[in-house]
Each structure stands twice: as C-alpha cells, then as structure tokens.
Amino acid sequence: MVKFIIVRHGFSLGNKDGIFTGQLDVPLDEIGFAQAEAAAKYILENFTVDEIYSSELCRAYDTALPVAKALSKEVKRRKDLNEVDVGFWQGMTFDEVREKYPKSLAIYETSPGLSHFDGGESYADVRKRAVRAFCEIAEKNEGKTVMVATHGGVIRNLLASWLDIPLERITDVPRASNASITVTEYENGGATVTLMGFTEHLEDKTTEVKVN
C-alpha cells in the first residue's frame, strides 16, 4: 500500500489573469507561495513524507518545495503529472476561447469530461496518463507515504478513475482548489480516498479558479 498526499498547486499568475494556463509554465503569485507554506505546515505536522514528486511546471514544483526543503528531500519532476494540454486555448481567457472555439467551449462548460481541447489533449488522454503515472510511482514506493504536487485537471481525472466515475459524469468530482490536499491509500491499482479537497489549513488564503 502507498499513501498518496496529493496537493494542487497554489494560486498562480495564470489563475490571477483568468486564463487557460494548461502547460504554460507560469509561476505562483504571492498568495500561491503563502498557500504552499500553509500546505507544507499541515503536511509536516500530520504525515511522515518519504518521497516527493511534482509535475515539471514551476507552479507545482514550487508548491512541493517547502516540504522538500524542510525534509532535505529532492522533488522528483515528471512530465506525465503536468496539467492538461489545452492546445490553442493556452493563454486565452474564456471570452477569447468563446469567440474562436465556441463549439468546443460549450462541451467544456456542459460536459467537461468529454472535452478535447483544440490542438491539445482530451480528458480521456489525461485520465490515462495520470492513472499510469500514479501506478508507476506506487510500484517504486511500496509501503511509503508520497507527496505529489500536480494540477486541477490531473487530480479531477485521477479521482474520477479511482472512484469509478465515467468521463461524462466528471462533474461529480468537485474541482480541487488551489493548495488543497487529497489523501488516498493506493493498492493494486485502486485507491481509497480518506481526505478530498481539504482546505482548512489555508484559512483566509483559500482561492478557487474555474479554468485549467
């Protein structure tokens, strides 16, 4: 069994600008760095972390860094933990996407699990790579507690898979807030969720965004 502590990255400059960030490598903003510190405090007080992973993108890496520094551990970056590739939508606002790709955006707004971002990935693609990534990490870390800093789209698809929720019902899984903490016990390809989207550690620093 592997215990996963899954943390969504803190509030980023892309979140602040209200854009589809996708795999654009934008940094955390001031609030995001404070959220990362708050998440680290909670994690260090409540868990013994053996290994730390993050996506390749700096907003996830910098969210994991306070825990890594406190424990003198390396953050292992993986490309397959990156956010959804939103293709041509990257860097665009909702209004800009609505003007250029109205049909695709309508699907994203009504049935996001069935989305295929123009020039990018589908949610089905993301689910496959996220499940595969966690399976590989688990195989290398049997019996350990592993922190993973990643992204909202990855977390939502991962949880939907583990909870056996089909893509067309992905909205049954709440969006992960910035720097929220989800804890699962993973074994034999399945996971029991013991904490989902926890944000109490953030107190007045809670933020919520509606784009990837």
Catalytic residues: 9, 151
CB distance 191 to 161 below 8 Å: no
Q: Which two tokens stand for residue 59?
A: 């907003």
Of 84, 188, 182, 169, the C-alpha closest to 128 is 84
String of b and e for 145-173 (b: at least 16 CB within 10 Å)? Answer: bbbbbbbbbbbbbbbbbbeebebeebeeb
**CA 75, 5, 189, 143 torsion: positive or negative?**
positive
Q: What distance in Å separates the CA atoms of residue 133 and residue 192, rounded to the nearest whole number?
A: 17
Q: What distance in Å separates the CA atoms of residue 56 and residue 63, rounded to the nearest whole number?
A: 12
**Which backbone phi and psi does 80 adopt, to 5 degrees?**
-75, 0
